[in-house]
Structure 1
């Protein structure tokens, strides 16, 4: 591979460890629309589908006014060029269909509005990474062109261009940083290095020297200059035939009809060369195009202006190993340097004739030029281009994960300076006569996913808090508590002392024994009921289960199961402080947490394990609580140290925004996984900080609890709320580019749990202030 081309593909090797995007939308014209962008988009999609799978992509073309195209199945949605609302609807379609990335093919003329500005209505609303390929980069743009391209570059995560000259223009004229630009040359078919005579019989030109120009015809193509060169060429090479392959550009045909083609035929006639010119007035298929190119001895691009940073027809001829003569437009000068072709001045038929005659008279020179072009182009075959684009897509997603940007603002806004009103509508919507359902589709319960002990335990803690709060007194919450307790009773196996976890919607248990963590959460929930509820029936059921289930926690190996169990045992001990058996079990589990912390901490890693995963703050919270209640100073110190370290890990580098550890976690010494961010982490952090404040009385812990809670309200990486004030539900998490719109049980219960804790503190402070006021009167 050439040194010039190798940098275009260098990111591929650096991206092998990054996950591939699973759904990519390509926006740009698409075949059978007749234009170069349509051909490029179609070829790129086909190459990526062949290399990475058809299921990974789909296309969204732009229809020109009056256009009616029979697109293939790969096309999912069509945009109407002059209808800005279709661009806005396109953005909604992409946002709601779970796409990982959008790849835009940009050319000013294919989008509606001044200089194609309608496309901005779509791009500004997108929540996923955007990679834009620029097919035109102007040195002297008008104000609209300048503004639009700069805005597209700002919105896009990566910019792809096909020539170094385009890179230079972006940096110098449009102020696009070099770090944002990827150079990926125009893809070419992987053709063999063939003898042109193999294809000539298909055009009835056997034994003749074939000159070729192909592509959509328009006046700026300069074909008339080749016709004017033909008399001088024919004087030395009487067997030459010039094939002009391609239909008139649809835009030219609509405005001017076939005037340009007619003028060319008339010019050929007046020059006496008509018998040596073949007009193939068709938009040919890729297969036919390869035959046209294959038959050419010399390919000519006689364009009349230099401001062209890429020519697809030039790239295809170059990749086929053709001897090429071209005028000095930007792409040609770059591609044909180092004797890979011949450059002639603009509008200079004499130079064209001289160059053709030199090449036809010197087979060795012509074949050396062909070979240099062919070898240089091997790194730009469509297979290699597809790999380079996928590497750019991976890089765009990785950069978005490490440096997320605010998502587009919707109408929904939530005040950050006060706690939201309590809304339990979604809690009731997710609960049926069995318990709370595990998952939701947006805000609709997803019955097919069934129930879990994990979520019903969380729901019991929340319902119990609702019953205890004077802000939410309602017999309905008592009914919820009974329903969730009944689920736990059903889940518990008295013969084994363990809880099952997963229950299908058809009321069939999907396992004989649930996870240690689900058992710990259930013990936490029933301990909370025993510690705070006044409901006789709930307390009776909870007491029987607690005594039968608590001992199993001593056999667990999961630190989180230990922590949940400690929280449950301590809640129980708040009501029955003299139970020495449960005190002992609590101390055993808390000492295990302290022991693994002391064994693991060090080298700037102050944690219980060699990795962070989920519900992290529950570990220091359990240690703090157990140490406080058992007067174990070392436990309180270790809990404080580990929680402070965790908070530092969960802050954005530049400010105090809460950034919970992503759902994939991370190990000591490895890169921190920032996404997907889960509500359960914010909830656990709020609770742990509240516990630390309760023990120490330090205001800083309340401040940290507030930072974590505001993550729910929109003070996060994407600056969008996860809490849905309309439904009372909480969305399932933050992706690098968007919010997970599903409002499942875990997320909603995490929000409610955190809100109720802060509401309880707020109410306690108000009560204290009233007491102080009364005492002063």
Structure 2
């Protein structure tokens, strides 16, 4: 039997990685008929690790396609079952949503071990965990309370849940020999180990020590563990420095030792065997599983702990002692009692050691192996295979290489000769606004550091081009001379779109405040726009702003007025067989229904919804044929009652179609729109009238379109940004599609609008 494991794995310093390794090897050594293991290891923040041979593939946490490559590998590997180690923080996307597509495609039985179960999860956390439990054949938890949470909070059938406690290495050392090795013969050792952060409550122990030392001057408290990597990334050594200051202030330098190490299990168990009392002083109850607590029990330590969930359960029946959260005085009383009464302390140690014999990895591994055998013995009816509307494995790897090439410290160069920036053409507001939108999307969805780096370049260009009356210039020469006084209404609208998106998704306050300043300086001009595409772009920007500022009634009123202009244009121009805003289909057509779809979501107006869906269907009828997108050519467009132009087809039209179908899916939850979205996107990759790819796999840019002679090989900013915005929209749509049905149905507006569409 061959088993696949998904989780973190050594040498990555992570408690779940150690658990995965111990579990896999204990099952291999103690499980009947298990003869091969294959590990699929989670990498964090683009870190590289030198894994042992059982790791067949690594998955970069934020790289969505890695998950799909992994599941394809697992399905073809001959593995009989898969074991997932789940913790929200080790998987990519919001609350680790990227794991769902992998599990959805898995063709073998799945057993999931849950390391965290939240009592008050966010909606997304709850939806994701419920989906994982639905797709799992069995769910393993490590405490009785965890079983209750799954049943009562997550609606998991109890028959699907298996309680198997946290395993402990079967390692033992002589207590006196260990104490002698660490030169502790004359000391009483208190110990805490594990990753260090403010959620560990170590200061509670340090504050209790002065009272203890008065009566037991031989006490030494060792805190064994590195600062948690996530804490280190965001706060550095702030907490450890705070502890060191506290130790110095309380004059405890001879009684507290902070060892900043991630040690191997053999060394750890030497410390555990040498310690007199093990302490877990967590500051709140929300800890459903504690590997450090299990290790301490398994090694026969007397444990003193706050009453978090796992400790309250594990230390019952006098197997340890509890004290209240953040209660240093209470802790000092408990420690004094135990240190002053060696017999009481010894009784607790013996009970812990007796209980710990049930937690050794050989026994835990055998239980997991028996569970796998049980799952495989249950006959399963083959489920109808779901056909995914989107296949992200067809997407090239996301790259900002060409955008970086086009960008200098002023902004993004608007044109290129092949893949080389054409400096003679300078810069324009249109493209810098598009670029700002794209990097905001890229940073939100992929946390791309280059996107964050480029963001202020485009934002500062927009600010520089704004006139005192809030309008914008458009063109700037390479030597930074203004080329116009006031730019086009299209460029104005695209800028408002980008700024509106930034206001809802700014990565920090500085960018938000700058975006807000420019946006609201432009507001007085919203009512002056005449071009319907300028109006449409502005509406999209307002809609993004209102999603995070829904109480701005004045802006809602402005959105309604602009939407009514488009509706009025439609009423004036549509006929029985021509459901459109003008007497021709011109350029960037999808932007018009898209704007109304956004307004429909915000305003919940039936008339706006009616026109949005009618015009979207009309545009689809004339551009989506033979299962691919055929864009209206810009050479002569498509005048009513005349022949449509086939060439020149341009990427901004494909982008508008991708965005339009995504917003339609957001409103309705209708999978057909996902299929159309992906069909529209594949226009970039060769599913088009010319059957040629516009995406350049070498430069990572996108060609400017194609003419009747073939592809226009120039790769300017507009085209490359249109591709990247479309690429990110596909990834977002794919992510959306794996949220639970319950999550989709919770949006009542979707149901209303879906009814309208039907």
TM-score in terms of structure 2 length: 0.50
Contact 2:298 2:357 in 1 (8 A): yes
Residues 6-34 of structure 1: CA distance to partner in whole angstroms, max 9, x if unpaired? xxxxxxxxxxxxxxxx1111100011111
Alignment of 1:162 with 2:162, yes or no, is no
2:314 matched residue in structure 1:
335
1:241 matched residue in structure 2:
220
Aligned-residue offset at 1:406? 3.7
Cα distance in 2, alignment partners of residues 251 and 54 from structure 1: 36
2:55 matched residue in structure 1:
75
1:206 matched residue in structure 2:
185
Kindly report the root-mean-square deviation, in angstroms, between the aligned alpha carbons of the 2 structures: 1.6
Contact 1:163 1:309 in 2 (8 A): yes
Distance 1:357-1:71 versus aligned 2 partners, 3 A rule: same
Cα distance in 2, alignment partners of residues 41 and 75 from structure 1: 11
* Aligned ranges 1:82-231 → 2 under 5 Å: 82-192=62-172, 196-231=175-210
Cα distance in 2, alignment partners of residues 108 and 384 from structure 1: 27
Residues 260-291 of structure 1: CA distance to partner in whole angstroms, max 9, x if unpaired? 11111111110111111111111001111111
Gaps spanning 5+ residues in structure 2: where?
Answer: 391-758
Distance 1:96-1:196 versus aligned 2 partners, 3 A rule: same
Distance 1:268-1:183 versus aligned 2 partners, 3 A rule: same
Residues 440-471 of structure 1: CA distance to partner in whole angstroms, max 9, x if unpaired? xxxxxxxxxxxxxxxxxxxxxxxxxxxxxxxx
2:273 matched residue in structure 1:
294
Aligned-residue offset at 1:99? 1.1
Q: Quick one: which of 302, 306, 309 aligns to 1:323?
A: 302
Cα distance in 2, alignment partners of residues 99 and 54 from structure 1: 11
Residues 554-600 of structure 1: CA distance to partner in whole angstroms, max 9, x if unpaired? xxxxxxxxxxxxxxxxxxxxxxxxxxxxxxxxxxxxxxxxxxxxxxx
Residues 137-184 of structure 1: CA distance to partner in whole angstroms, max 9, x if unpaired? 011000010000000000000000000000000000000000000000
Contact 1:112 1:118 in 2 (8 A): yes
Alignment of 1:371 with 2:350, yes or no, is yes
2:637 matched residue in structure 1:
none
Contact 1:111 1:117 in 2 (8 A): yes
Contact 2:171 2:266 in 1 (8 A): no
Cα distance in 2, alignment partners of residues 201 and 258 from structure 1: 32
2:502 matched residue in structure 1:
none
* Aligned ranges 1:377-776 → 2 under 5 Å: 377-399=356-378, 401-409=379-387
2:230 matched residue in structure 1:
251
Contact 1:127 1:407 in 2 (8 A): no
1:309 matched residue in structure 2:
288
Contact 2:2 2:34 in 1 (8 A): no
Contact 1:216 1:249 in 2 (8 A): yes
1:354 matched residue in structure 2:
333
Aligned-residue offset at 1:408? 4.6
Cα distance in 2, alignment partners of residues 59 and 291 from structure 1: 29
TM-score in terms of structure 1 length: 0.49
Distance 1:404-1:375 versus aligned 2 partners, 3 A rule: farther
Distance 1:227-1:411 versus aligned 2 partners, 3 A rule: closer
Distance 1:411-1:119 versus aligned 2 partners, 3 A rule: closer
2:565 matched residue in structure 1:
none
Contact 2:219 2:255 in 1 (8 A): yes
Contact 2:189 2:274 in 1 (8 A): yes
Name the SS for the 1:324 alignment partner: strand
Distance 1:154-1:54 versus aligned 2 partners, 3 A rule: closer
Cα distance in 2, alignment partners of residues 170 and 151 from structure 1: 12
Cα distance in 2, alignment partners of residues 377 and 289 from structure 1: 16
Cα distance in 2, alignment partners of residues 90 and 128 from structure 1: 13
Name the SS for the 2:140 alignment partner: strand
Name the SS for the 1:175 alignment partner: coil
Distance 1:407-1:293 versus aligned 2 partners, 3 A rule: farther
Cα distance in 2, alignment partners of residues 314 and 165 from structure 1: 16
* Aligned ranges 1:252-291 → 2 under 5 Å: 252-291=231-270
Cα distance in 2, alignment partners of residues 409 and 396 from structure 1: 26
Name the SS for the 1:275 alignment partner: coil
Cα distance in 1, alignment partners of residues 190 and 175 from structure 2: 11
Residues 650-678 of structure 1: CA distance to partner in whole angstroms, max 9, x if unpaired? xxxxxxxxxxxxxxxxxxxxxxxxxxxxx
Aligned-residue offset at 1:56? 1.7
Aligned-residue offset at 1:43? 1.3
Cα distance in 2, alignment partners of residues 268 and 170 from structure 1: 41
Contact 2:10 2:17 in 1 (8 A): yes
Aligned-residue offset at 1:190? 2.3
Q: Quick one: which of 49, 59, 63 aligns to 2:28?
A: 49
Name the SS for the 2:105 alignment partner: coil
Name the SS for the 2:139 alignment partner: strand
2:447 matched residue in structure 1:
none
Cα distance in 1, alignment partners of residues 232 and 191 from structure 2: 22
Aligned-residue offset at 1:202? 2.6
2:437 matched residue in structure 1:
none
Distance 1:392-1:33 versus aligned 2 partners, 3 A rule: same
Alignment length (residue pairs): 389
Contact 1:191 1:319 in 2 (8 A): no
1:552 matched residue in structure 2:
none
Aligned-residue offset at 1:66? 3.2
Aligned-residue offset at 1:402? 4.2
Distance 1:293-1:306 versus aligned 2 partners, 3 A rule: same
Using the TM superposition, name which of 377-386 and 297-306 deviates more. 377-386
Cα distance in 1, alignment partners of residues 186 and 135 from structure 2: 55
Aligned-residue offset at 1:377? 2.4
Cα distance in 2, alignment partners of residues 117 and 91 from structure 1: 15
Name the SS for the 2:56 alignment partner: coil
Using the TM superposition, name which of 169-178 and 195-204 deviates more. 195-204
Name the SS for the 1:32 alignment partner: coil
Cα distance in 1, alignment partners of residues 372 and 191 from structure 2: 36
Cα distance in 1, alignment partners of residues 352 and 382 from structure 2: 42
Cα distance in 2, alignment partners of residues 411 and 220 from structure 1: 42
Cα distance in 1, alignment partners of residues 237 and 341 from structure 2: 38
Contact 2:143 2:289 in 1 (8 A): yes
Cα distance in 2, alignment partners of residues 99 and 327 from structure 1: 42
Residues 464-491 of structure 1: CA distance to partner in whole angstroms, max 9, x if unpaired? xxxxxxxxxxxxxxxxxxxxxxxxxxxx
Aligned-residue offset at 1:305? 1.6
Name the SS for the 1:212 alignment partner: strand
Cα distance in 2, alignment partners of residues 51 and 82 from structure 1: 35
Gaps spanning 5+ residues in structure 1: where?
Answer: 1-21, 413-777
Contact 2:3 2:34 in 1 (8 A): no
Aligned-residue offset at 1:339? 0.5
Cα distance in 2, alignment partners of residues 386 and 30 from structure 1: 17
Contact 1:137 1:166 in 2 (8 A): yes
